[in-house]
Amino acid sequence: MTNPVRPRGTCRVCGGTVLQFLDLGRQPLSDRFRTGSETELEYFFRLEVGACEACTMVQLMHEVPREHMFHEDYPYYSSGSAVMQKHFADTARWLLETEATGPDPFVVEIGCNDGVMLRTVHEAGVRHLGFEPSGKVAEAARASGLRVRGDFFEESTARAVRDTDGPADVIYAANTICHIPYLDSILRGVDALLAPGGVFVFEDPYLGDILAKTSFDQIYDEHFFLFSARSVQAMAASSGFELVDVERLPVHGGEVRYTLARAGARRPADRVAALIAEEDAAGVATLARLDRFATEVGRIRDDLRALLERLRAEGRRVAGYGATAKSATVTNLCGLGPDLVPCVYDTTPAKQGRLTPGTHIPVRPADEFPAAAVDYALLFAWNHAEEIMAKEQAFRQAGGAWILYVPDVHVRN
């Protein structure tokens, strides 16, 4: 998994040299679930990851055009998890209590999905606008009475909103900013739309947690950047902003919420320097640590495939649970098709009856899982493990066991 001769690229943030440390092979679009009748060629790209020598930003070496990923039939709905519903409701209340406090506050969300966060803002009677280019999830948000603009957020669209709605007190994004290679346009848009004393708050998967947990499946086409506090600090400084706060979050396997303000507008919280010091002590941005991560990924790949091959030889019945976007990285890297994982169960109607990207494992409704004759369930949605296992207690009571691969391959009985 390591590279004796490192391919080089150019950093999308600072223009520095990006050195590759990980190659996850030929990968499909992670959220493109196909029907059995579709015959057009499937889109694949090389999933290679590098780190910038100058600003330390970890990023993909190849960009997938955004229209391929975020489209009319985009199948992910943020409201699908009760845990995430509570998280976003709590986040909205926190923003309303701490930042959107003026006489007529205005909250903008980049990538509002089905409106799970903005619903609480709307219910509080606060002006709001969501940007959401994926058609069906945008319609779900509008059906809740939310104001949604069906565009990508960038400098031109941000200026258009400023002209019609005035400045935003808060610009917020969750699991969205890491998707966007053209961060320069995003930050120019934030600068154009944000009120002088406003904040830009975003939360995304945290590089420190990905390395610590070897959660390599957090790397896929939609996750172009893997942020750390140090790299976000450098990104902010390059655009006239300053990282003024950070908060570790337990959701999605480990995230950080970053708060940016205009340079000099606020005193940075002590925990910014504390988290950067923690990263430096762990060597998060060093090639030695990143190379070790690549080696650990190779071990997980080999161990997972060996376990599934052994279970097949023993006649054990295996199924997947959670047709997540990140499962595409696992199944394609490890070569897991229907021969090793005959089906995967999922709660999302838009994925049911379709095939997983690249490996073409059939997706079945999750409510069929309790009736399924399964000995082992490979939990692709490991970041929702406690919620799922609590829901599927009958599986364990019947003698079933869960297979997990984060932070290593193990079986939970």
pLDDT tens per residue, range 252-272: 899 999 999 999 999 999 999
**What average pLDDT does the segment 159-180 reach?**
97
Percent of the chain scoring above 70 in pLDDT: 96
pLDDT band at 5 (very low <50, low <70, confident <90, very high): confident
Q: Where are the alpha helices (DSSP H) in 314-412?
A: 327-334, 385-391, 393-397
pLDDT of 85 higher than 50? yes
56-70, 151-165, 170-184, 371-385, range with the lowest pLDDT: 56-70
The answer to whether the CB of 190 falls within 8 A of the CB of 200 is yes
**pLDDT tens column, 11-20:** 999 999 999 9
pLDDT at position 73 is 57
How far is CA 120 from each of CA 81, 96, 154, 217, 229, rounded to the nearest angstrom? 16, 9, 25, 31, 28
Mean pLDDT value across residues 68-77: 55
**pLDDT at position 313, please?**
98
Contacts of residue 364, Cβ cutoff 8 Å, sequence gap at least 6: 343, 344, 345, 346, 352, 353
Residue 215 has pLDDT above 80, yes or no: yes
The confidence score (pLDDT) of residue 223 equals: 95
In the numeric block, which tokens belong to residue 78?
A: 């943020």
Could you tell me the two tokens for 342?
Answer: 């005959």
Residue with tokens 């708060």: 259
According to DSSP, residue 14 is labeled T
**pLDDT per position as a tens digit, 283-292:** 998 999 999 9
Pairing of strands 318-321, 376-379: parallel
**pLDDT, position 210:** 98
Q: For 63-74, what is the mean pLDDT?
A: 64
Question: Which strands, in side-by-side order, build the sheet including 8-10?
Answer: 8-10, 17-28, 44-52, 58-60, 225-226
Range of lowest pLDDT (22-36, 68-82, 170-184, 196-210): 68-82
Over 70: is that where the pLDDT of 2 sits? no
